[in-house]
A and B are shown apart, each in its own frame.
Chain A
Amino acid sequence: MARAQAHTLEAVAAALILVSSLVFALQVTAVTPLTGSTSSQHIENQQAAVAEGVLASAADTGSLTPTLLYWNESAEDWHGASEDGYVRGGPPTAFGATLNETFLDRGIVFDLTLYYVDDEGDRQRVRIVDLGEPSDHASTARRTVTLADDDPLRDPDRSASDTTLANASYPAPDAAPGQSLYSVVEVELVVWRM
């Protein structure tokens, strides 16, 4: 009888040890920024809100459009950018500085992409900033921007040039010929933690 009790107690003790070792094993697993958890979901929500806020404020203060017009016609690229766009941070414009201050300085990287509708009605993209492939926990914010025929392209020193969109070679074509509307483009900002 005493032996049976001992066995029972032993079984309970063994079960407890098993359960506690499982709990311990779960607790000591390395948590990386990419580990899925409620906290990283929370960070994603926060970053999505910040990205939306940055785009909204840039659109409101009028600093978003000049960045989209910071186009080098002869090089068919953004001023001072590589083929993949800017790969070291935001563009050298007011909006680019805001992006660097808001994200890059805090260890958050981002991709900025311009989407437009081409003559065939297909949606095409031009990379403005390419800082790598977004992780699985990236957040995305989008903003629609209306471009007009008489919007001037920007010179490398960020001043307005004499070339307006109507007579410039810009990635997006004039989607409304005969109207002062040039095109409606979408700016996509993807942010994620390094």
Chain B
Amino acid sequence: MADVSRCQGRDAAGGSECRRRAAPRGRRDCSAHAGGSRDRGQLLLVGALALAVLFVALALLLNTAIYTGTLATRDAGGDATPAIEYVSASRSAGADAIRSVNRRNDTSTTDLRRAFVATTGRWDDLASHHRAVVGDAADVSVATVTNGTRIQQDDAGRNFTSNTTASDWTVVEGSGVVAVRSMRFTVDNSTLTSIDDAGNATAETVFHVVVDSTTGTTRTAYIYHNTSSGNAEVLVDDGGTETACPVGSVTDGTFVVDVSNASLGGASCRELGTLDDAEGDVSVEYGDGTAAGGTYTMVVEGHPTDGGVTLSELNPSGSPYWTDAIYSANLTVTYRTEELDYEATVEVVPE
């Protein structure tokens, strides 16, 4: 339209090339010229449109590339690793704290609890300080503490008999005893009964530990010296199947029967680990206690003041004896980051 009016305008002014040519043909010429301008306008429009489409397509391509790059490097949601690590660190710190307050052998369950809460609180102060530096808020607090009883014999020269030197006796029993953990014997190799066949262990006078429960199987471990192999051995009877494990190494005439760790003198004995897998009303009995000697320790869940725990064949002090202990604890762990709000109650039971 603009081109056409410009042509007419030039016509009116009388200076255009339309005018200089023959007047009757002037109109035709001018319209022909106007047609050419229209073509040019169309060309420009189409050109501009093509360029516009090209740029839009380019922009889309570029955008897709950038978006792909962003997606490829984006984190897959919130990162829970620090929270999980903190929980696992607080669990092991809690287990260490229980072990250490039990070892210090405080006199009452209240003292033990107070010491445990103090140690856990101090750990939390230090650990959450480190976490705060990276902008994470962490907290550990003691929710509940389960009382327990530690049963122990420290006199390495004594055999595994009761306080009245009874050979077959009940270490602990009662409706209040619901679990047993951390069972370890350090056995004097020279005190063991020698037999020539592991199959005879149940029949001969061989020291044995019986862990009985109302809901599970009765499991028995026999500790003896096998003259055929020349090694000390443990035969585990899980209420049907009998498995014998040879001792790994004997140091200074003693070896450790570690039930929690399922090891015998450092050698793995998987079946041994099942001995303390008892739940319900648990009882621990020793048989033929004269046929082995050394030291031992274990912790049972349940405390005489809570009722249902019979420890009549143990001394208040002097081997074998019992003391107050913490069996386990529940910790409430909270962990907050910019994108994560985590809270969990973890149970801490030392091995």
Residues of chain A whose beta carbon lies under 8 Å from any beta carbon of chain B: 1, 4-5, 8, 12, 15, 19, 38, 41-42, 45, 52, 56, 115, 117, 121, 123, 142-144, 146, 148, 175-176, 179-181, 183-186
**Contact pick for A143, options B85, B100, B115, CB 8 Å:** B85
Question: What separation, in Å, do the CA atoms of A186 and B89 have in the docked complex?
Answer: 11
Q: Is the CB of A123 within 8 A of B130?
A: yes
Main SS at interface, chain B: helix
Q: List 13 A-B contacts (CB under 8 A).
A: A1-B39, A5-B40, A123-B130, A142-B130, A142-B134, A144-B89, A146-B123, A148-B96, A180-B119, A181-B96, A181-B123, A184-B93, A184-B123
Q: A12-B47, A144-B89, A144-B131 are in contact. List 16 more A-B contacts (CB 8 A).
A: A8-B43, A38-B72, A41-B73, A117-B126, A117-B130, A123-B133, A143-B85, A144-B127, A146-B89, A146-B93, A176-B123, A179-B100, A179-B115, A179-B119, A180-B100, A184-B130
**Contact pick for A8, options B44, B85, B92, B103, CB 8 Å:** B44
Q: Is the CB of B73 within 8 A of A42?
A: yes
Min Cβ gap A43→B in Å is 10
**Contact pick for A1, options B40, B86, B89, B134, CB 8 Å:** B40
Q: Which residues of B contact A142 (CB under 8 A)?
A: 82, 130, 134
Q: Is B97 an interface residue (CB 8 A)?
A: yes
Q: Is B49 an interface residue (CB 8 A)?
A: no
Most chain A CB atoms below 10 A, which of B69, B103, B130: B130
Q: Which residues of A contact B56 (CB under 8 A)?
A: none
Task: Look across to chain A and name the residue whose beta carbon is closest to the beta carbon of B81.
Answer: A52
Task: Look across to chain A and name the residue whose beta carbon is closest to the beta carbon of B92.
Answer: A146
Min Cβ gap B116→A in Å is 10
Q: Is B51 an interface residue (CB 8 A)?
A: yes
Question: What separation, in Å, do the CA atoms of A56 and B307 have in the docked complex?
Answer: 43
Q: Is the CB of B122 within 8 A of A5?
A: no
Question: What separation, in Å, do the CA atoms of A115 and B72 have in the docked complex?
Answer: 34
Question: What separation, in Å, do the CA atoms of A42 and B97 have in the docked complex?
Answer: 41
Min Cβ gap A178→B in Å is 9
Q: Which residues of B contact A117 (CB under 8 A)?
A: 126, 129-130
Given contacts A12-B51, A56-B85, contact A181 B119 (CB under 8 A): yes
**Contact pick for A115, options B85, B89, B123, B130, CB 8 Å:** B130
Min Cβ gap B51→A in Å is 7
Q: Which residues of A contact B133 (CB under 8 A)?
A: 115, 123
Given contacts A52-B81, A123-B133, A144-B86, contact A184 B126 (CB under 8 A): yes
Min Cβ gap A158→B in Å is 20
Q: Is B118 an interface residue (CB 8 A)?
A: yes
Task: Look across to chain B and name the residue whose beta carbon is closest to the beta carbon of A11.
Answer: B47
Q: Is the CB of B123 within 8 A of A38?
A: no
Q: Which residues of B contact A56 (CB under 8 A)?
A: 85
Question: What separation, in Å, do the CA atoms of A52 and B84 have in the docked complex?
Answer: 12
Q: Which residues of B contact A15 (CB under 8 A)?
A: 51
Q: Which residues of A contact B36 (CB under 8 A)?
A: 1
Question: What separation, in Å, do the CA atoms of A143 and B89 have in the docked complex?
Answer: 9
Question: What separation, in Å, do the CA atoms of A123 and B127 have in the docked complex?
Answer: 11
Q: Which residues of A contact B129 (CB under 8 A)?
A: 117, 121, 123
Task: Look across to chain A and name the residue whose beta carbon is closest to the beta carbon of B73.
Answer: A41
Q: Which 3 pairs show the lowest CB-CB distances between chains A and B?
A: A180-B100, A184-B126, A38-B69
Min Cβ gap A174→B in Å is 11
Task: Look across to chain B and name the residue whose beta carbon is closest to the beta carbon of A122.
Answer: B129
Min Cβ gap A15→B in Å is 7
Q: Which residues of B contact A52 (CB under 8 A)?
A: 81
Q: Is B25 an interface residue (CB 8 A)?
A: no
Q: Which residues of B contact A144 (CB under 8 A)?
A: 85-86, 89, 127, 130-131
Question: What separation, in Å, do the CA atoms of A142 and B136 have in the docked complex?
Answer: 13
Question: What separation, in Å, do the CA atoms of A117 and B147 have in the docked complex?
Answer: 33
